[in-house]
Each structure stands twice: as C-alpha cells, then as structure tokens.
A and B are shown apart, each in its own frame.
Chain A
Amino acid sequence: MLLAGGQGSRLGVLTRNLAKPAIPYGGKYRIIDFPLSNCVNSGIECVGVLTQYQPLVLNEYIGSGQPWDLDSTNAGVRVLPPYQRSRKSDWYKGTANAIYQNIPYIERYHPDYVIVLSGDHIYKMDYSKMIAFHKEKEADCTIAEIEVPMEEARRFGILNTNEDGSVYEFDEKPRVPKSNRASMGIYVFTWSKLRKYLEADEADPKSSNDFGKDVLPAMLKAGERIFAYPFEGYWKDVGTIGSLWESNMDLLDPNVPLDLGEENWKIYCRNPVMPPHYIAKSAKVQNSLIAEGSNVYGTIDFTVLFSGVSIAPGAVVRDSIIMPNTRIEENAVVQYAIVAENCVIGKGASVGARPEDIENKEEWGVAVVGDGCVIPPGAEIPPKAMIDRDRLEERVGKNARK
C-alpha cells in the first residue's frame, strides 16, 4: 500500500498542481517510480496507490501500470482514491485511516502481510528481504530504519531498540534523540494484526488516525512484537526544496551509492517519446545528467536536464534542475535553482545565485520557478525565491508600474 495522497506543502509551488509523488526526479523519473520499481523488483505484484491531493497527473502517469509491468490480469497496480459508501463517507483523515478505508481492497487478495510505503523517498530497497526478516522474527510489525547523522535525528521518527532488534520506544521528532536510528516510513505488518488495530484506531474518536502517532504506539503499548529492520544504502526524504535539490545532485556524484544504471535493479518509468538529446558545437557539458529530447547549445555544469529541455547558445546553467520542456534562452544564467515544467527563462534573465556570491548566507537558498512560468528577458529571480505563475504576474505588473 503506497501512500501517495500527501500534499507536500513544504515543496511550495512544485506541488501546487501535483501530488508530491508525481514530482519529476533525476532527469526522467517521478518520485513514485522508486517505490513502484522497488515493489516489482522485490516480487510484489499487487500494489494499491492511495491518492487524495491533486491526483490528475498521478492517475495519468500510473495508468494501467504497464511501464512497471504492473498490468497483469489478477494483480497489478490500482489507484485508490477515497470513495462514497452507503454510510459514513470521508476523505482520508490520516495515513492509518487511508489504509482502514481500503480494508475491502486488501481483503480481496487475502494477504498474510501488508507493506506500507510512502511516496516521497528516493532509495533502492529489496522489500522481500525485509519481509523475510519479518517472518523470521515472527514479528507483528517491522519498521525499516536507517542511520542518520545525530544532528539531523531530531527531524525524524527515532526508533529505540533492545539488543535483539525489538523496538521498545517510538520517538516522533524528539527534542533530545536517544539514538540516530530513524524510521524510513516503511512498515511490514502481519495483516490480521494490522486489521485489528486499524479497526480499534478508527473506533477511537480522539485518534488522529496516523501510523506514527497512533497505531504504532498503540501496538507497542499492547506489547505486540515490533522489530526494526536495519537498512544500509542510499535513502533520502525529498520532502523539502533543499533535500529534493540535494538528492538530484547526488546522482551526479560518483561517490554516492545510488546507481540508476544498475541492470538488476532498474528503476522503471513512463518514457517520453523523443529522439536522443543533441549537444551542439557551442555547448560545454560536464558533470551532468541529460535525458532524451533535449537540445543543448549553452554551458552546463552539475545539472540535471529532463526531456525536451532546450538550452540556447550563451546560456549558463549550473548546479540546477531543469524539468521537462523548459526553454532557457540566450545568455540567461540559472544557478542553484529548480525550474519546473514548461517554463521559459527569457534572454539574459538570471535565476538564483551561488552561495559564494552572497554575503549574507541567511539569504541564500535554492531558487524555485513553478510550472508554466515565463520569466521575461533580463529579469532577476533572487536565490531562495519561489515563483509561480500568479506571483510572477504580480511582480511583472509592479515593475511595469515603476
């Protein structure tokens, strides 16, 4: 069960018309390709995707599930939005409630175990090993955990474990973390147990219907067997502009252990129908990831280019992410920025800045241009700015009045 209904409000303009799992990543993927491909590669052929916030793009993207081989007859991927019932219809009130509302879907397949995933992490993981661990420990719930730097531990749900790996405490964003082992938001449940707790949780009017806040603490309190499954490898929460940017840049770093080219653990996606990309004579390209359908005439360094992007002669793009079908015109400079789909950066415009060039480090951050923005020639978008179509019109209007 893949939770894909979150708004991802910390991603600002990027998630205005798009659910977070549908955000483009890594030149040709969307975030949801990672959990979906992990499922298929792990031999899980029955996936429910729970959608609620802005599902149009996501629905179209998932379609029949064919790109992930999830279009088989008796299994496959199903998009599960909240629906009307004869009594008591409601939106998904929380992560646990979303699963609760889909008990009938799960029951159709009579599973022994259910794995709950979220649609906002970039990682490659073999879930079958985690399920084997769950069986071996005869656990009721297994939570995947990863070591994070101690200073960042406060941002995560921290798992405090006994020596045998069983969890005795679940600390959601603790002020003083006791360990640096964070929950990855991946849970394997024994279905009969989970069903019981979901029903109990639903009956409790005070509950916020959340896995981390309500269901897991309740299971812990009742003394169920909860284990932590240690995961080693690349894992990144891309819930913020900073982490989304960093995670894309990680693909350009040969020392980061995330190889999308791995033959036996491919990340599948819906491929654009475009010719190979073209690098012109005037272009300079280094340390970059470029998808098919792009045309590069300018200079590119440490950049991720999605399909159908064009970079005009004299334009410079550094340390940035340029999403599908965006056009960067002559002599424009884009630095430390995320430019969303179908934008135009006008001639000589500048977006973002290098941290070295900013005196007050507080003012620096990745600049974000929302989808469909047309940045007029010569305009300047400062670092840390977040521009969408409405705000851009306001700004241009103001300048015109001046």
Chain B
Amino acid sequence: MRGNNVLGLIFSNVHEEKVRELTENRTMGSVPFGGRYCLIDFPLSNMVNSGINKVGVVTKGNYQSLMDHLGSGKAWDLSRKREGLFLLPPFEGESVNGNSRVESLSCAQAFLQNSKEEYVLLTDSDTVCNIDYGDVLAQHVKTRADITVICRCGRLPDKICGPTVYTVGPDGRVRDLLVNPRTEGECCYGMGMMLIRRELLIRLVDDCVSRNLYNFERDLLQRNIPNYRVFSYEFKGFAKIICSGVAYFEANMALMLPDVRAQLFDPSRPIYTRVRDDMPARYGLGASVSNSLIADGCVIDGEVRNSVLSRGVRVGKGTVVENCVILQDSVVRPDSRLNYVIADKDVLIKNGRSLLGFESYPVYIAKGSVV
C-alpha cells in the first residue's frame, strides 16, 4: 500500500458558482454524473485505490445530499474502526472570506494535527478522472519536493474558474504561478490537486491566518513558491474539469467513447459509489437505443440516442430522448421529444411535451419539476 502514509482531504464545495443550477441544493461533490456516480466518487475512489485510507471531506454549505451519499463510507471501504471517512463541516462564528479554503483548512486544524500521516493530498471535487496518487507520491519523494501540484498541459478549458497556470522548469520545478492570467495556446494549469507534507501545510495555513491572508492560491501557494521546492506532476490520462454547464454536459457525453470508459472505469481501479439495489435496466418491445449509457433501474420503451440515463429513469413509448442527460428517477412519459436537455432528479415530463436545447446551451430542468 503505497499511499498509506498519505492523508486525503477533499473540498466538496469548490467552484459551485460555475454550475449554479446543479448545485442549488447540493455541493459540487454530490453533483450526479455518468449515470450512477456523484462527482466526489472520483477523488474518493482514486484515493482508496491508491491506498489512502483516511479521508477528510471539507464541507461548507448544502451538504445534506453529500452526507446522504457518503453515509458511513462503506461503499468506498472507508467505514473503519481506525481511520476511514471524516466529514469536516465548518465551525460557527468564523468570518467568511472570499476564497475560504484557507479558512476551511484552519477549521480542520484539529483533524490535520491529530492525524499521523506524513503527507496530505488536497483535492477539489470538480474533476472527473482516474488517477493513481501512488505515482504522485513516488515522484514527490524522488524529487524531494515540499509541494507537488498536479497539473495538465494543453489549452485552458472554456470558462474555467480562476485557473492556476504554472511556469515549469525543465526539471519539473515550478518557477512561477499565475492566477487567472491571459493565455494563448497551450499552458500548464492546475487540476486542483496537490500533495504536501502535513506539518508544512499546518505551518503555511497558520502563517496565512496570522497575516489575515485567506486566498489559497495567491497567499498560500504563490507567495511561497520561491521559499519551497514546488514541483509539478503532469497527469496525461482522461480528465475533465466540470467548470460550466456545457462542460458538465460534454463530460457526460465523453463517456460514450470506449477509450474514455476504459480509462475512467479501469476494472483494476474501479470507481465506487453508493449502492441503490435497483433491478437491471429493462427494455420493452419497441425500445430503440443507440450510443447511450444506461444505468440500473431504467425502464425503456421509447427511443434513446446519444444520452446518459441515471438510475431509475423511465422513458415511455413513442418518446424520443436525444443528446440528453437525465438524472435519477426522472420520468419521461409517452410521445415526448427531448433534445439537448439536462433533467435533474425526479423530473416529470408529461405526455407529448417537446423540449429542445442546443449543444452549446442545453436546457436545464430543475429537480422535481413537472413539465
């Protein structure tokens, strides 16, 4: 177990403003994805698969659905006597500063201090990928780094929220960090994940708080680049940052590609999620499905094309669902037409309705709506 000496820390609320509709009643981490997952399943499973068995989940607000999803952590094998899953909600009375990640960390001081692991892996929950943190740790140790930031090289994704762009030397050492710069062409940008020595993290957070500096990227990272050995680890596999409604839609659609599925759902590094005990999906007479991802519990009597259907979705006879993401337990009654629609949980679309969006602007239907 390579990651045994690493403590996991997941921020479940970051960048929620970017997918406002989906996060109205939930955290970023509990945004449903890919037919049966929530976004937090990816960092959690990645950590567990890398041998990390103590994970703290930092929450800020709206975390009811997240707690409901995580439960005791059993689904990720994190329901343990020693170590396991820890929920870290905020303390009352702290002032709210713009980017409060430093604040969250200072709230989690006790958790950090009481842990015995040498390193801490910090990650956001808005990135869908299957990454082996064991490799990151190996590089971190090899380069004798103080901080290793995980990044990707390429064009910045559209509408990405306050990206951190790194200037990296040939030895992989980070020379400079810019927050939200104007970029042209390819660059090296952060994926919201980093590995750091636990004691160093505690010290840097204390330092920031004592100076009333609360911006994680600028105050904790940027300010300290000259003082510490900061290295970058480039992740080359499939990754998609959910930084807008369109990105969310595209990330779902990317799952139709066999290569993406093979990388993301590698059977040797499975993505775990909460079990729901649905029956297998049932296809009726006259069902016609092509290029779609369908979860358990669906009952399909109509036509489905290029869509992702979550658990328990029903598609009636004569209905055409095309280029859609339909979330848990939504029902599309007979003779309706849906194109480029994101339907949240428990939506009911009655007989004969017609909803048309566009690729760059999918129609979003809020949780529990009746159309």
Looking at the assembled complex, report how far the CB atom of A303 sits from the nearest CB atom of chain B, in whole angstroms: 9
Contacts of A267 in B (CB 8 A): 277, 279
Contact between chains at A279 and B292 (CB < 8 Å)? yes
Give Cα A290 to B304, complex, Å: 15
Which listed residue, B275, B304, B309, B310, touches A271 by the CB 8 Å rule?
B275
Binary flags per residue of A265-301, CB closer than 8 Å to B gives 1, else 0: 0111101011111111111111111111001000000
Contact between chains at B294 and A277 (CB < 8 Å)? yes
Looking at the assembled complex, report how far the CB atom of B46 sits from the nearest CB atom of chain A, in whole angstroms: 14
Looking at the assembled complex, report how far the CB atom of B281 sits from the nearest CB atom of chain A, in whole angstroms: 5
Q: Is A26 an interface residue (CB 8 A)?
A: yes
Give Cα A234 to B275, complex, Å: 26
Q: Is B299 an interface residue (CB 8 A)?
A: yes
Contact between chains at B286 and A67 (CB < 8 Å)? no
Contact between chains at A274 and B265 (CB < 8 Å)? yes
Contacts of A284 in B (CB 8 A): 288
Looking at the assembled complex, report how far the CB atom of B346 sits from the nearest CB atom of chain A, in whole angstroms: 13
On whether A273 and B293 interact (CB within 8 A), knowing A27-B280, A260-B279, A292-B36, the answer reads: no
Looking at the assembled complex, report how far the CB atom of A282 sits from the nearest CB atom of chain B, in whole angstroms: 8
Binary flags per residue of B256-293, CB closer than 8 Å to A gives 1, else 0: 10100100110100111001011111111111111111
Count how many pairs of residues, one from A and one from B, have CB atoms less than 8 Å apart in the complex.
111
Which listed residue, B265, B277, B280, B286, touches A26 by the CB 8 Å rule?
B280
Looking at the assembled complex, report how far the CB atom of B303 sits from the nearest CB atom of chain A, in whole angstroms: 11
Q: Which of A235-288 contact B (CB under 8 A)?
A: 251-252, 254, 260-261, 266-269, 271, 273-288
On whether A268 and B284 interact (CB within 8 A), knowing A276-B36, A279-B294, the answer reads: no
Contact between chains at B270 and A276 (CB < 8 Å)? no
Q: Is A154 an interface residue (CB 8 A)?
A: no
Q: Which of B56-78 contact A (CB under 8 A)?
A: 74
Contact between chains at A290 and B283 (CB < 8 Å)? yes
On whether A276 and B35 interact (CB within 8 A), knowing A66-B74, A283-B289, A286-B285, the answer reads: yes
On whether A271 and B277 interact (CB within 8 A), knowing A276-B36, A279-B294, the answer reads: yes
Binary flags per residue of B223-258, CB closer than 8 Å to A gives 1, else 0: 000000000000000000000000000000001101
Give Cα A322 to B267, complex, Å: 20
Give Cα A279 to B287, complex, Å: 12
Q: Which of A300-319 contact B (CB under 8 A)?
A: 304-305
Which listed residue, B34, B74, B282, touches A276 by the CB 8 Å rule?
B34
Looking at the assembled complex, report how far the CB atom of B308 sits from the nearest CB atom of chain A, in whole angstroms: 8
The DSSP consensus for interface residues of chain B is loop
Q: Is A121 an interface residue (CB 8 A)?
A: no
Query: Which chain A residue shows the least CB distance to B265?
Result: A275
Looking at the assembled complex, report how far the CB atom of B77 sits from the nearest CB atom of chain A, in whole angstroms: 10
Q: Is B206 an interface residue (CB 8 A)?
A: no
Contact between chains at A275 and B293 (CB < 8 Å)? yes
Contact between chains at A273 and B287 (CB < 8 Å)? no
Contacts of A27 in B (CB 8 A): 279-280
Contacts of B256 in A (CB 8 A): 278
Give Cα A389 to B212, complex, Å: 71
Q: Is B8 an interface residue (CB 8 A)?
A: no
Query: Which chain A residue shows the least CB distance to B309?
Result: A276
Give Cα A285 to B267, complex, Å: 25
Looking at the assembled complex, report how far the CB atom of A60 sits from the nearest CB atom of chain B, in whole angstroms: 16
Contacts of A181 in B (CB 8 A): none
On whether A261 and B297 interact (CB within 8 A), knowing A281-B290, A286-B285, A287-B285, the answer reads: yes
Give Cα A274 to B255, complex, Å: 13
Looking at the assembled complex, report how far the CB atom of B125 sits from the nearest CB atom of chain A, in whole angstroms: 19
Q: Is A124 an interface residue (CB 8 A)?
A: no
Contact between chains at A276 and B277 (CB < 8 Å)? no
Contacts of A290 in B (CB 8 A): 280-281, 283, 294
Looking at the assembled complex, report how far the CB atom of B117 sits from the nearest CB atom of chain A, in whole angstroms: 26
Q: Is B146 an interface residue (CB 8 A)?
A: no
Contact between chains at B275 and A254 (CB < 8 Å)? no
Contacts of B280 in A (CB 8 A): 26-28, 289-292, 304-305
Give Cα A280 to B287, complex, Å: 14
Contact between chains at A277 and B293 (CB < 8 Å)? yes
Contact between chains at B275 and A285 (CB < 8 Å)? no
Q: How many residues of A contact B (CB 8 A)?
A: 38
Contacts of B283 in A (CB 8 A): 285-290
* Residue among B275, B281, B285, B294 with max Cβ neighbours from chain A (10 Å): B281
Query: Which chain B residue shows the least CB distance to A259?
Result: B279
Which listed residue, A67, A275, A283, touches B261 by the CB 8 Å rule?
A275
Contacts of A305 in B (CB 8 A): 280
Q: Is B22 an interface residue (CB 8 A)?
A: no
Which listed residue, A26, A281, A286, touches B279 by the CB 8 Å rule?
A26
Looking at the assembled complex, report how far the CB atom of A53 sits from the nearest CB atom of chain B, in whole angstroms: 28
On whether A292 and B291 interact (CB within 8 A), knowing A27-B279, A275-B35, the answer reads: no
Give Cα A280 to B286, complex, Å: 17
On whether A276 and B297 interact (CB within 8 A), knowing A67-B275, A288-B283, A290-B281, the answer reads: no
Q: Is B295 an interface residue (CB 8 A)?
A: yes
Contact between chains at A275 and B287 (CB < 8 Å)? no
Binary flags per residue of A75-88, CB closer than 8 Å to B gives 1, else 0: 00000000000000
Contact between chains at B295 and A280 (CB < 8 Å)? no
Query: Which chain B residue shows the least CB distance to A270?
Result: B275
Contacts of B271 in A (CB 8 A): 273, 275
Contacts of A260 in B (CB 8 A): 279
Q: Is B296 an interface residue (CB 8 A)?
A: yes
Give Cα A232 to B49, complex, Å: 47
Give Cα A252 to B287, complex, Å: 13
Binary flags per residue of A40-69, CB closer than 8 Å to B gives 1, else 0: 000000000000000000000000001100
Looking at the assembled complex, report how far the CB atom of B274 sits from the nearest CB atom of chain A, in whole angstroms: 10
Looking at the assembled complex, report how far the CB atom of A247 sits from the nearest CB atom of chain B, in whole angstroms: 15
Give Cα A276 to B291, complex, Å: 13
Contacts of B290 in A (CB 8 A): 279-283
Which listed residue, A252, A266, A269, A275, touches B34 by the CB 8 Å rule?
A275
Query: Which chain A residue shows the least CB distance to B305?
Result: A281
Give Cα A282 to B285, complex, Å: 18
Looking at the assembled complex, report how far the CB atom of B271 sits from the nearest CB atom of chain A, in whole angstroms: 7
Contact between chains at B282 and A289 (CB < 8 Å)? yes
Give Cα A274 to B293, complex, Å: 12
Which listed residue, A28, A275, A276, A279, touches B289 by the CB 8 Å rule?
A279
Query: Which chain B residue shows the least CB distance to A304?
Result: B280
Which listed residue, A66, A281, A282, A286, touches B287 by the CB 8 Å rule?
A286
Contacts of A26 in B (CB 8 A): 279-280
Contact between chains at A278 and B293 (CB < 8 Å)? yes
Query: Which chain B residue shows the least CB distance to A308?
Result: B267
Contacts of A276 in B (CB 8 A): 34-36, 293-296, 308-310
- A sample of 11 cross-chain residue pairs with beta-carbon separation below 8 angstroms, ordered by A number, consists of A28-B296, A261-B282, A267-B277, A275-B34, A275-B261, A276-B296, A280-B291, A281-B291, A285-B289, A286-B286, A289-B280
The 10 closest A-B pairs by CB, nearest first: A27-B280, A276-B35, A260-B279, A276-B295, A291-B280, A273-B270, A275-B265, A279-B289, A271-B275, A281-B291
